[in-house]
Structure 1
Amino acid sequence: MRKSVLISLLLVGVVFPKGDADKELLAKAKQFFSPLPKSFPSADNPITPQKVELGRLLFFERRLSVNDMVSCATCHAIEYYYASPAPKQMGALKLQPRHAPTVLNSAGQFVQHWIGNRKDVEDQALQSLTGPPAFGNPSKESVEEKIRKIPYYVELFRKAFPKDKEPITAENIAKAIGAFERTLVTPSRFDDFLKGNTKALTPEEKRGLNTFIEVGCVACHNGALVGGNMYQKFGIYEPYWKYTKSESIDEGRYAVTKKEEDKYVFKVPPLRNVAMTAPYFHDGSVASLEEAVWIMGKVQLGKDLSKEQVRDIVAFLKSLTGKIPEDARKPPILP
């Protein structure tokens, strides 16, 4: 067989059966991704059924806020896949500085918040109690005093923290909410694919996965969460605001470190459930996933992705939409 003919056959996939191509893609994908775990455990905050149930109630508890108007679920709503549909959400006393992302799978990230100023979900919950853009309480003690007046919670805290002489503390509120969030894992068809079921993805989704890898998205978006495990400058090749049309320029982690090299650096967001959690980027400046993908190509990769590439990548990203755990699909009845 002539060499040119052999190459042509290889390009159209005639020489190797489709099954082999799928296995090759699976092997390639497993170099960058891994299936979601069943939960995100913490040595400092062991997950127990009692903590999780208490945390689920507290996640929806408006009385944690200074004005009894705001709960975790206000900014991380079930109907929006535990995210916010607003570019920036109003807290108890103040507008939040950045977009409120989903808390689904969030506990698996290496830090919390866009600029990494919270070390884990427990730290995030604890600091939210007194943060003006969150619950706005004047002190931790004021929250504790309020919750201690609710008999139902007194009993639940005693069961969740049986070794504590005084179970109702701000730290335990944060641990309970954190324990609940550590169970918010949403496996999808992509996990089935990674576990060996090559039929779990459609041909278009497989093309998108391959494109996602080949164009370089995996340099930052990798691991079980498809992101959430590193910092990166937003705007490597061009200023991000040139394309996002952001109303204001956010200097990112520079606000935390005051280091020049941290200007415009943010935590790389996980892409699990990304198709369900618009708007996009730290300021919620882009409503369309297709536009967000194209912008990322321009500013992060220095590439002008074609319509076909964008379409296929978006198809792959939609395969990351998972199922919300059964007991987290509707709000609980609060005491």
Structure 2
Amino acid sequence: MTAADILKDLKNRKYKPVYLLHGEEPYFIDVVSDYIEHQLLPEHEKGFNQTVLYGKDTEMMTVLNAAKRYPMMADYQVVLVKEAQDLKWGKDDDDKKSINPLQSYLESPLPSTILVFCYKYGKFDKRKKAYKAIEKTGLIFESATLYDNKIPGWIEGYVVDKKYKISSQAANMLAEYLGNDLSKIANELDKLMLNIAEGQEITLKQIQDNIGISKEYNVFELQAALARKDVVKANQIINYFEANPKSNPIVVILANLYSYFSKILQWHYLKDRSQQNVARELGVSPYFVKDYEQAARSYDYGKSMQVISLLREYDLKTKGLDSAATHGELMKELLFKILH
């Protein structure tokens, strides 16, 4: 099930007695747990029937004792365990005669309790008996990290769910600029939508104006200048980056260029270079396929390999390996080698 599927069931009052929300991506875990914490019970029921615990500050027996209580003047009670990755789960006991309180509860949970474990920044051990018990009596949701090429599509879906629109170019720029931190992206989009009428499109200009991306001097424009081998424009952008290092950290620029030239190199391997196949294989919007075709004409297979090698070399130099140059000087050096 996806996070959206779980939310749909919760809104329809289809509850499970135990939820294990685990995985590398905290955003989806937060979305589900926030709904459970703030929307599942009416306000007047929360005082007696909602318990929020934190894994590093509690013990498993405290969790179980809370879960075993019956709701007061309500149909359900909620026990929400945040930071469950810090909770001491105990070891599996192979002695069949011994009684494991956690295992005993998970195998026969109280139907009137909604027990939720939020296990973030890693996967729960699927070999554990607790996992297998929750699998049988409750619901397990794994929140997987999205690959970078899936972020623009996620942005478009998020905006549509909020009843707004966004162009592929704007979604891609946002993804490139903000990276794969879904919570940060959602927060920036929510702030943007406060100033836009429902149903309208979030434009490139609005993103540039409100999120601090320069219209002329950003990593997209640098990539475009490199693709055209426009030396003057590329140097103007690098000079702007050097003058505004906090808004344009070199580590982000290098990561974006590495991703960009990796896709150019991948283009050279493709036998089917139709727009649809290129978009699918490179993980980009069809809108950008022509840009990669132009870049591939400017950088053949050999030059693309050389640029990727240069990017790795200069990434090490930014960390102080065999170089005492400033980040601005390193970027100018790198740019010269890419373009010549």
Give the TM interval when normalised to the shorter protein: under 0.3
**TM-score scaled by structure 2?**
0.25
**TM-score scaled by structure 1?**
0.26
Greater RCO between the two (CA within 8 Å, min separation 6)?
1
Larger radius of gyration: 2
Q: Which has the higher strand share?
A: 2
